[in-house]
């Protein structure tokens, strides 16, 4: 198949291009090379049809879709950003870009889409109260955060909650601009699938890390920020108390999940026509941010992490994945373990961010 990868020069996109070509697919890349992700132009693998254009450019999208069998839509602004002034850029890149792409696919008759989604659509993860069962805490209060009370209490009785694994049927609860745009992308893709009788899979990535992450940028993930600090000879600065639970999944496993989703779009027991099917993409093994920082620092041989007590209001406390649906329906499972992946990441080069 000929696969169009939007954002194919980026961190996840470049690994996906490698995986697709390794699986025998022809690949076309459409990437705007936005400065937030690319300080310098990345190398383009030999044999790749690369188009330097913005996904919001309808003419460029139409041209890039000629002869394409399926699209892996990775292009997006990522991360929490610096402040709310980033909102127009996030909405423009993520939501308008997705709308232009989907309109082009409808016109071109391309009916298979794998969308790079995100776990941020859930807001806080899954919690249980010993008295009230499964509950959904509201946004954390500034006064509690300033007092160092980082864990959300039960909304009914105020007692501590036990975090668990969130599945795809959990209600969406985006709590920052980036999260809102990622949920809007899913809604747009679902509307496209209904209107065109297409097949669409949304892969809700959890905390992706690995070689080739951009360095020194506020839009990168926490693993990249810690690795960038170590590269400067500085201690990673861990916000809150370091006890935030996340699911760190290696970028090669994420690329493999895209291949599994593409296979699922071919039908049979995979993704049905006219719908969008969401899948969590995580390792299934939670770790705290503090544990990740310590493992990365130890592997790098740099300064030990410093727990600062600082916080960002748009962050959530715990969000960890159940990837059972992806495993059961499409046969995918994570293969890179936490210790192995962090050791590799500590020694791997980062790209200019």
Which sequence positions are flagged as catalytic?
178
| Chain Cα centroid distance, residue 4 | 19
Q: What's the alpha-carbon Rg for the chain, to the nearest Å? A: 20
**d(C-alpha 138, C-alpha 149), whole Å:** 14
Q: Which residues of 289-323 are buried (b: 16+ CB within 10 A; e: fewer)?
A: bbbbbbbbbebbebeebebeeebeebbbbbbbbbb
**d(C-alpha 4, C-alpha 16), whole Å:** 11
**d(C-alpha 214, C-alpha 11), whole Å:** 7
**d(C-alpha 180, C-alpha 324), whole Å:** 25
Containing 287, the helix (H) or strand (E) segment is strand 287-288
Least Cα distance to 207 among 157, 169, 244 occurs for: 244
Contact call for residues 238 and 305 (beta carbons, < 8 A): yes
How does DSSP classify residue 203?
Answer: E
HSE toward the beta carbon, residue 176, CA cutoff 13 A: 21
- Within the chain, residue ranges assigned H as helices are 11-22, 58-64, 87-90, 97-108, 142-146, 177-196, 222-231, 251-264, 289-300, 324-330, 338-347
How many beta carbons lie within 10 A of that of residue 43, not counting itself? 9
How does DSSP classify residue 187?
Answer: H
**d(C-alpha 180, C-alpha 172), whole Å:** 10
**d(C-alpha 39, C-alpha 217), whole Å:** 10
């Amino acid at each position: 198949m000929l696969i169009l990868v939007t954002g194919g020069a980026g961190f996840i996109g470049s690994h996906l291009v490698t995986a697709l070509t390794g699986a025998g697919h022809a690949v076309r890349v459409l990437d705007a090379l936005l400065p937030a992700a690319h300080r310098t132009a990345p190398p383009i693998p030999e044999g790749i049809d690369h188009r330097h254009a913005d996904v919001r450019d309808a003419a460029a999208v139409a041209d890039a879709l000629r002869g394409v069998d399926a699209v892996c839509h990775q292009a997006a602004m990522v991360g929490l950003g610096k402040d709310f002034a980033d909102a127009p850029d996030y909405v423009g890149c993520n939501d308008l870009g997705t709308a232009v792409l989907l309109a082009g696919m409808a016109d071109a008759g391309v009916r298979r889409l794998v969308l790079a989604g995100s776990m941020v659509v859930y807001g806080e993860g899954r919690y249980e109260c010993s008295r009230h069962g499964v509950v959904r805490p509201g946004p954390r209060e500034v006064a509690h955060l300033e007092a160092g009370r980082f864990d959300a209490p039960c909304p009914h009785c105020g007692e501590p909650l036990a975090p668990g694994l969130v599945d795809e049927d959990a209600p969406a609860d985006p709590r920052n601009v980036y999260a809102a745009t990622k949920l809007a992308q899913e809604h747009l893709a679902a509307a496209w699938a209904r209107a065109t009788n297409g097949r669409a899979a949304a892969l809700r990535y959890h905390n992706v890390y690995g070689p080739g992450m951009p360095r020194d940028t506020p839009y990168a993930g926490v693993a990249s920020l810690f690795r960038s600090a170590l590269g400067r000879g500085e201690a990673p600065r861990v916000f809150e108390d370091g006890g935030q639970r996340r699911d760190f999944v290696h970028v090669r496993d994420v690329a493999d999940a895209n291949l599994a989703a593409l296979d699922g779009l071919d039908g049979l027991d995979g993704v049905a026509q006219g719908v969008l099917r969401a899948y969590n993409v995580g390792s299934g093994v939670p770790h705290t941010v503090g544990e990740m920082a310590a493992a990365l620092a130890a592997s790098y041989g740099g300064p030990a992490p410093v727990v600062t007590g600082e916080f960002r209001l748009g962050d959530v406390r715990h969000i960890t994945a159940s990837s059972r649906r992806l495993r059961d329906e499409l046969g995918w499972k994570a293969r890179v373990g936490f210790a192995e992946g962090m050791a590799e990441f500590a020694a791997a080069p980062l790209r200019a961010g």
